[in-house]
Structure 1
Amino acid sequence: MVLQSKQQISSYIIDSQEAEIKRIALELHEGIGQNLYSILTGLQFVESTAEEPHMKNYVREMESLIEKTIQEIRLLSVELHPPALITLGLLPAMKSYIKLYTSTFGILVDIESTGRETAIVERNRIAVFRVCQEALANIAKYADTSHVKINFNWQETVLNIIIQDFGKGFNPEEDEEGSRSLGLAGMKERMLLTGGEARISSKIGVGTSIEISLPLK
């Protein structure tokens, strides 16, 4: 009974966090992003009417800065809450996120999928995506690698995902209270709430492997 109560509390906290993340992502894209676009349009008009060369150059520099900021906000919005995750499903969302990940960190990610992709309820879809996202974030921070391999294996009753980084690896016992261990614990907790599991194994000099399993029925 106590364990069930703790799981219910954890589930409520995670659901609340996801709702807030979705709200922030929407505000970034629809609110701040649109406001910046309006400012950019105004600056473009100012540039077209300015006569002094130094003023034109100054306005053009401001336009460039705002364009860069708009792009960064769009990327952040997608990272927080990918539209593809809701509209297209887990695998397309992961492929879309990997493009963003590679362009940001320069780490190549090979993703393969075997078996027939199965529809996953939204809550579990988000959980698996967040676990994969956390795994990739840890790789960028700690693994010191340029290559990652992700395999989706769709079976009739379970989805198995293996993420391998071929990096420098680590000793879990030496990082029991570190930020990486907190992230790994969060991954395990998310999968536990779906009825699934996340297992982490690592060997120094060889790399780290994360195995995720999600019941589909």
Structure 2
Amino acid sequence: MEHSASKQQIRSYIIQSQEEEIKRISLELHEGVGQNLFSILTGLQFVESGLSQPHLKNYLHEMTQLIERTIQEIRLLSVELHPPALTTLGLLPAIKSYIKLYTSTFGVLVDLESIGEEKPIQEQKSVAVFRVCQEALTNIAKHADTSNMKMSLFWKEEELRISIIDFGGGFVVDEMGNNHVTLGIAAMKERMLLTGGHCVISSKIGEGTSVEISLPL
């Protein structure tokens, strides 16, 4: 029993350490690389405004556009790694922010509903739930072959339940083998177990896939 508890503590520590490193990288991308590129962009725009030769002006304009796109990609990557809203505003705003990014990136529309009054969640637990939702949405975008899905949050006094349903082709869980999706599903379940919650995934060919998440509050 003690050995099992020790293994659980080790897994929890590893995940927490990974999240801290991800958060650090996200901040460095946004505050470091992103800000440096923005400074370069501002300088190039200033030089561009003072050029008189058309071919140089056009070339510099192309360069500024490239840097602008790079800044946007870095911002999106930073948010995807660790959404600032998760620690400042809470789980629901972070999910809403991520869904906007998700839809613009993958083109999958998400019908999001939140029922009941949102409750405060410990940061470690909110990160775990967010990662599970993120993994579920990524799997849908890459494998479900669908353009829309439904995500529902049910806030109760002592429990949060989340339902994620796609309308894709579905799959047979037992026939998936040991691939990236299978490992992702196992990680989703493990994350929720470490928070005292559960993650149940069911799917049928032609009927889509559902992910049911429960977290004690």
Task: Provide the residue aligned with 1:70 in structure 2.
Answer: 71
CA distance in structure 2 between the partners assigned to 1:26 and 1:41 by the alignment: 21
CA distance in structure 2 between the partners assigned to 1:176 and 1:165 by the alignment: 22
Once the two structures are TM-superposed, the CA of residue 42 in structure 1 deviates from its matched residue by: 1.3
Secondary structure of the corresponding residue to residue 214 of structure 2: strand
CA deviation map 1:34-59 (0-9, x unaligned): 11011111111221222210000000
CA deviation map 1:81-124 (0-9, x unaligned): 11111111101110111011000000000111111111001110
Task: Provide the residue aligned with 2:42 in structure 1.
Answer: 41
Task: Provide the residue aligned with 2:153 in structure 1.
Answer: 152
- Pair 1:51 & 2:48 matched: no
Task: Provide the residue aligned with 1:185 in structure 2.
Answer: 186
Task: Provide the residue aligned with 2:213 in structure 1.
Answer: 212
Task: Provide the residue aligned with 2:125 in structure 1.
Answer: 124
Task: Provide the residue aligned with 1:30 in structure 2.
Answer: 31
CA distance in structure 2 between the partners assigned to 1:12 and 1:88 by the alignment: 24
Once the two structures are TM-superposed, the CA of residue 9 in structure 1 deviates from its matched residue by: 1.0
Q: Structure 2: which amino acid aligns with 1:61? A: E
Secondary structure of the corresponding residue to residue 145 of structure 1: coil
Task: Provide the residue aligned with 2:134 in structure 1.
Answer: 133
Q: Structure 2: which amino acid aligns with 1:25? A: S
Percent identity reads 70
CA deviation map 1:12-71 (0-9, x unaligned): 110010000000000000000011011111111221222210000000000000000000
Superposed CA RMSD: 0.7
- TM-score normalised by structure 2 residue count: 0.98
Task: Provide the residue aligned with 1:93 in structure 2.
Answer: 94
Once the two structures are TM-superposed, the CA of residue 131 in structure 1 deviates from its matched residue by: 0.3
Count of aligned positions: 216
Q: Structure 2 unaligned segments of length 5 or more: list them.
A: none
CA distance in structure 1 between the partners assigned to 2:167 and 2:4 by the alignment: 36
Task: Provide the residue aligned with 1:3 in structure 2.
Answer: 4
Q: Structure 1: which amino acid aligns with 2:37? A: L
Q: Structure 2: which amino acid aligns with 1:99? A: K
Q: Structure 1: which amino acid aligns with 2:156? A: Q
CA distance in structure 2 between the partners assigned to 1:107 and 1:48 by the alignment: 40
